[in-house]
Chains A and B, each alone.
Chain A
């Protein structure tokens, strides 16, 4: 794998993960458990979709086959999507929504922090903007995990259930493949071992404060999102998200 191939692949992973999680959060528009939560969740989604656009625009330049950011987002099918499996998991109980957000935010925060020092200036620029937003997201989602985990008997149980449901998708966040390694060696992407250590450190710290029990480190983990092998949920997300572009290709007036 050449460095350029790895870079294209990696940019799509960043973009697709932001995009799919943003889309998932948007499902709560009008249905969040409280007005303040609605505003917060929609603002987080907005940040993520804005970041996705920045990554897609760069990816589109490198792919250079005439597709722009919109075409990459709205006209690729599930097997071409490179998002982390965690991001496509359903909202379910609000504890699951917040648990998913927390596990993602920890990964996102350390990934972006590392990318601000990327040898690729374009990546460093996008990351230095995005990391400020991700910091806020992490602050918020970790507060929720603590509040629910260390809350009532019921909130504790539901938050623990969420951790147990989601744990199987966290291994993918910190298990590197060739793409990750090639970019780390080039000083473009994060150093995988450091990322894994940082993720585990903060996830464990917050879960402990929340009186929650993390899953086992050697637990069975679902992987494949980074290579286009997805859970059944992604197809349904894309069907809704891409409907307009598929039904009215290149629609510019709406």
Chain B
């Protein structure tokens, strides 16, 4: 859990601060769709601050109604406690560049899957010390053997699951038998 003042959550803090002084001459109508996506790339997941909400695949679409912008956001888990905070951070990021009343549509279908995490997002997870989801969610078997999960620290495949759940609902807890370090695995759903 990031603490206030952690460098990892700095960008979110900057956005919040920046939102208090929106330049009067901000022209959101001049921003392209690519500009908005680039802006949302700066909004990090508060519980996995290594990756952005775009890389996690939880921002699904941007919609315009005239000059009004709304963003489709899908939660990772039904009870993800970060859902509201993520929605607020996205709203604040958009306000900071001049959108007066950005809207969030919370969409449940199609249900979020770890298949939507971008390749770049998976690399960043690994670099952050979290093993990214292995394989495709469609192949997840109900009572089958767990996949081989490589240690994000030393790369060894000699690992074992300690707990089906880790520090958050989206992670499981593993241990590397080679380097002996515990690590989080971003579960494949």
Contact present for A126 and B108 (CB under 8 Å): yes
Contact present for A129 and B108 (CB under 8 Å): yes
CB B31 to nearest CB in A, in angstroms, measures 31
Q: How many residues of A contact B (CB 8 A)?
A: 31
Chain B interface size, under 10 / 10 to 19 / 20 to 34 / 35 or more: 20 to 34
Q: For B166, what are the chain A residues with a Cβ–Cβ distance below 8 Å?
A: 39
CB B13 to nearest CB in A, in angstroms, measures 23
Contact present for B77 and A133 (CB under 8 Å): yes
Contact present for A40 and B164 (CB under 8 Å): yes
Report if A212 contacts B (CB, 8 A). Answer: no
How many pairs of A and B residues are in contact by the CB < 8 Å rule? 80
In Å, the complex CA distance between A49 and B143 comes to 24
Whether A47 contacts B111 in the complex (CB less than 8 A), given A36-B162, A135-B140, A138-B142, comes out as no
State the majority secondary structure of interface residues on A: helix
Report if B81 contacts A (CB, 8 A). Answer: yes
- From 195 to 228 in chain A, residues with beta carbon under 8 angstroms from any chain B beta carbon are none
Contact present for A40 and B165 (CB under 8 Å): yes
- From 65 to 87 in chain B, residues with beta carbon under 8 angstroms from any chain A beta carbon are 75, 77-81
Contact present for A136 and B187 (CB under 8 Å): yes
Q: For B77, what are the chain A residues with a Cβ–Cβ distance below 8 Å?
A: 46-47, 50, 129, 133
- 5 examples of A-B residue contacts, CB within 8 angstroms: A54-B108, A129-B109, A132-B111, A136-B164, A139-B164
Chain A to chain B: the 9 pairs with minimum beta-carbon distance, closest first: A50-B79, A50-B78, A36-B163, A125-B109, A40-B165, A46-B79, A43-B165, A129-B111, A125-B108
A residues contacting B by CB (< 8 A) are 36-37, 39-40, 43-44, 46-51, 53-54, 109, 121, 124-126, 128-130, 132-133, 135-136, 138-140, 142-143
